[in-house]
Amino acid sequence: MTDIYTAVVDIAHAPLNPAAALEFVSDPRFGGIATFIGRVRQHNHGRVVTGITYDLFDPLALRIFQEIGERARAEVGGPLKLYIAHAKGSLRIGDFAVVIAAATPHRDEAFRACRLAIEAVKHEAPIWKQEHYVDGDSAWSEGCSLCEEHREAELAAAQQSKQTHGHGH
């Protein structure tokens, strides 16, 4: 479907481009555009971060982005354009890690589609994040298991923690 754009962008070649996302979702039918942009920030869990390396399993990631798009479309139940792009490679502080844009006739659906998409990208797509710290150390983030035996228990725990003290990852 041409209403859903998905990309894995090797940032050795080009950065993510929020303007291109806006361009893609633009349509005279649509009055509301909600976007989410994830950037590399300087601190995580109290440690000073100097950069992040993103590793992706590209073909599966693209399929899953597309699947997420179809799910967002079903959830919105009306016209939607959705842009999902994730960076791959070595990012510095301030670099864009992920860009999502959702456009719909009205704003409520745009927000819902955008939120659904970023949550699904974070929890379901084959993407891994290695943080590099100022002291030279580095660590792969603890994330969400895609393995069915672990997945349900972890998602339930995340829901719980979201309700009590916000959403950590």
Q: Which residues of 3-24 are buried (b: 16+ CB within 10 A; e: fewer)?
A: ebbbbbbebeeeebebeebeeb
Choices 10-18, 48-56, 75-83, 108-116 (CB under 8 A): range interacting with another protein: 48-56
Choices 14-22, 69-77, 114-122, 155-163 (CB under 8 A): range interacting with another protein: 114-122
Q: Which of 80/99 has CB closer to another protein? A: 99
Binder of residue 46, out of another protein, a second copy, none (CB less than 5 to 8 A by kind) = none
CA distance 120 to 122: 5
Binder of residue 11, out of a second copy, another protein, none (CB less than 5 to 8 A by kind) = none
15 binds another protein (CB under 8 A): no
125 binds a second copy (CB under 8 A): no
Helix (H, G, I), strand (E, B) or coil at 77: coil
4 binds another protein (CB under 8 A): no
Q: Which residues of 72-97 are buried (b: 16+ CB within 10 A; e: fewer)?
A: bbeebeeebbbbbbbbbbebeeebbb
Q: List beta partners, residue 49.
A: 133
Q: Please give the DSSP secondary-structure letter assigned to residue 60.
A: H
Helix (H, G, I), strand (E, B) or coil at 12: coil
What part of residues 11-70 is at the interface with a second copy (CB under 8 A)? 18-19, 22, 26, 28-43
Choose among 78, 80, 114: nearest CA to 99.
114
106 binds a second copy (CB under 8 A): yes
160 binds a second copy (CB under 8 A): no
108 near 75, Cβ under 8 Å?
A: no
Among 10, 70, 108, 145, interactor with another protein by CB under 8 A: 145
Name the residues that contact a second copy, by CB under 8 A: 18-19, 22, 26, 28-43, 93-94, 105-111, 114-115, 118, 162, 166-168
